[in-house]
Amino acid sequence: MTKKELFPSIEPFADGMLPLDYLHTMYWEQSGRPDGLPVLFLHGGPGAGSSPAHRRFFDPTYYRIIIYDQRGAGRSMPLGEIRENTTPLLIEDIETLREHLGIDKWLVFGGSWGSTLALAYGEAHPERCLGFILRGIFLCRQSEINWFLYGLRNFFPEAWHEFVDSLSPIERADILAIYYRRLLNPDPAIHMPAARSWGRYEGSCSTLLPSAETVEYFTSDTVALGLARMEAHYFKNNIFLPKDSLLENVYKLHDLPAVIVQGRYDAVCPILSAYDLYEAWPQAEFKIIADAGHSAWEPGILAALIEATEAFKIKFMEA
């Protein structure tokens, strides 16, 4: 029978704080089997951070599970810091962590922004990747950013109107600029309400059916601040990569196995991006989940992700 449930809860067998530069320090952890197949989990956002539940996508008796919080996110310090925070630096951080842990190659797992960073990292260092499991594809094209800020109104008008409620009609013409200004204001009385509003908006749109638990997670202080600041920062700067570079360079990954998992009704990262990626990477396996939105915790997406980690386990055991 195909496994459709998370693996049991586990605790890390090692963790630490890794200095990256004069400003940033990265939280990292390892769980599962110390001599197992290394798998790197890349969290979403950017800025959402990781959680203990993310360890549970992987069989701990087989995988060496590496999870960390990206610059400005989660337990990495300082939280919400946009200085020295770019995609090329995040790619360097992954290599710093790989070398610190003495890993030669690893399987790369990422959803939403995690899929973006997985592609960017893989295209920069394909020789370090064993394969990819990607979910809720986000290529950070201007059309996708505009969809998030304006297009979601077509499906979630209540959430969108709540998101822009504090903005004047004139300010609504450039939502990103206004939120960016508020989110970077040093006064918590200004930046925290903006962060919670941003998190509530994204959380409300992330599931096929309403999920109070998802909204609560996205509006918690640490997640909201890291998520809102980093997303606004990266959106404003077009993720610090050349236009369309992720699709144009995906040919570098054609020889590596990959599974793309996408919810048919993903409103946050619409299926078109996943389809465009698959057209540029036809060697990948493309799984469309007919009854799911964006969240990794949607039952169909969760089952497909675990099925993928199990399939890679069998693939590498037989190799």
Q: What's the rounded Cα separation, in Å, for the pair 77 and 81?
A: 8
Contact (Cβ atoms closer than 8 angstroms) between residue 304 and residue 264: no
Distances (CA, A) of 258 to 212, 254, 305: 32, 9, 12
Determine which one of 197, 204, 294, 295 is catalytic: 294
Residue 32 dihedral angles phi and psi, to the nearest 5°: 85, -140
Task: Evaluate the CA torsion angle 76, 77, 81, 85 in order and state its sign.
Answer: negative
Q: What's the rounded Cα separation, in Å, for the pair 225 and 191?
A: 8
Which residues are 17's β-sheet partners?
27
Q: What's the rounded Cα separation, in Å, for the pair 239 and 236?
A: 8
Residue 93 dihedral angles phi and psi, to the nearest 5°: -60, -40
Contact (Cβ atoms closer than 8 angstroms) between residue 256 and residue 126: yes
Q: Which of 250, 254, 259, 252 is nearest to 314 (CA)?
A: 259
Query: Does residue 294 have an active-site annotation?
Result: yes
Indicate the helix (H) or strand (E) that contains 131.
Answer: strand 129-135
Instruction: Reduce the DSSP state of residue 284 to 3 states and report it.
Output: coil
Determine which one of 24, 54, 266, 273 is catalytic: 266
Determine which one of 112, 115, 197, 211 is catalytic: 112
Q: What is the 3-state secondary structure (H, E, C) of 155-193?
A: CCHHHHHHHCCCCCCCHHHHHHHHHHHHHCCCCHHHHHH
Query: Does residue 255 have an active-site annotation?
Result: no
Which residues are marked as active site? 112, 266, 294
